[in-house]
Amino acid sequence: MSWFDDLKTPRFKGEKSVPARVAKIPEGLWGKCPSCGEIIQTRQLQENLSVCAECDHHLRIPANERVAILSDDGTFEPYGEQFKSNDPLQFDDQKPYKDRLSQAIKSHKINDAFIAGKAKLEGLSFHLGVFEFKFMGGSMGVVVGEKVTMVLEGALTDKVPAVVVSASGGARMQEGILSLMQMAKTSAVIQRLREEGIPYISILTDPTTGGVAASFAMLGDVIFAEPKALIGFAGPRVIEQTIRQKLPEGFQRSEFLLKHGFIDRIVHRKNLKSELHQTFLRLGNRCKF
């Protein structure tokens, strides 16, 4: 049948061949759910707060979107934006730490992996801090620790609730012991909040691990978590390799932690704002909203 393959579409005399048109789809119009693989319109995904309509998987979202979800429009007043790490250990591996920082700052338009500020929720004032996971895996260095402390101390001074939304791989190895010191510093301020009866609400998202999980993330008066978020200290693969045992199904996921009493409630993203507001009303008897 090779003769058939050589046949060409007949054309009128003098007709020029027209190259085939290839439809080009603009970038950013479609996204893919990392859980079920469903292809979703970006607009539809945004309208659904970046939650897959097919499998209800909660996709990771930028810090500024998280702020918009949890606060009244136009009420968020950021602080500490000028803080930058000065590479205290002059850390260098395959790439100098200062170069990694510069690249992350340029890519994400923020100076570190945490946004802090004061906001309102249904008219009630509170201090809010949110991790930006895309900035070096949301790792906690000196600047992040200082800004978390600012959120907690701001709540202590103003007598209003503090809310921290965690999404982090843990302490930043490029700042060594200085990053680990932030665990103690933030935990100490939480104790002061507790003594004054000022509510601290911790919201755990995917992932919350390492030194962040081992300190302020798990010290909330109330601890919420999004569905199926990875929460723990060491990762499941590291644990399996260390103990040489297969871990239980769903280990270190929100549902597993709720069952074992590590968190208070799993809250769907669409309900998080109203749940937070109700928590303010229940726990805010010593607050000055």
Q: Are 189 and 153 in contact (CB under 8 A)?
A: yes
pLDDT score of 266: 98
What are the pLDDT digits (tens) for 58-87?
Answer: 999 999 999 999 999 999 999 999 999 989
Measured distance CA(261)–CA(100) in Å, rounded: 38
Residues 6+ apart with CB under 8 A from 52: 33, 35, 36, 38, 40, 45, 59
Measured distance CA(267)–CA(107) in Å, rounded: 31
Pick out the chain residues at pLDDT < 70: 1-27
What one-character DSSP code corresponds to residue 101? H
**In angstroms, how far is CA 30 from the centroid of its own chain?**
21
In a 3-state reduction of DSSP, which class is residue 274?
Answer: helix
Q: Are 208 and 257 in contact (CB under 8 A)?
A: no
* Distances in whole angstroms, Cα of residue 161 to Cα of each of 24, 66, 95, 256, 275: 49, 17, 40, 28, 14
Q: Which amino acid is at 230?
A: L
pLDDT score of 284: 82
Q: What is the CA radius of gyration of the chain?
A: 24
Measured distance CA(6)–CA(107) in Å, rounded: 52
Measured distance CA(70)–CA(269) in Å, rounded: 10
Measured distance CA(47)–CA(49) in Å, rounded: 6
pLDDT score of 286: 78
Task: Provide the H-helix boundaries in the chain.
Answer: 2-5, 42-47, 63-70, 97-108, 142-158, 176-196, 210-213, 236-243, 254-259, 272-283
Q: What residue has token string 């302020």?
A: 216
To the nearest 10°, report the CA torsion of 89, 91, 96, 102.
Answer: -40
Strand 124-131 versus strand 162-168 pairing type = parallel
What tokens appear for 237 in the block?
Answer: 């693969």
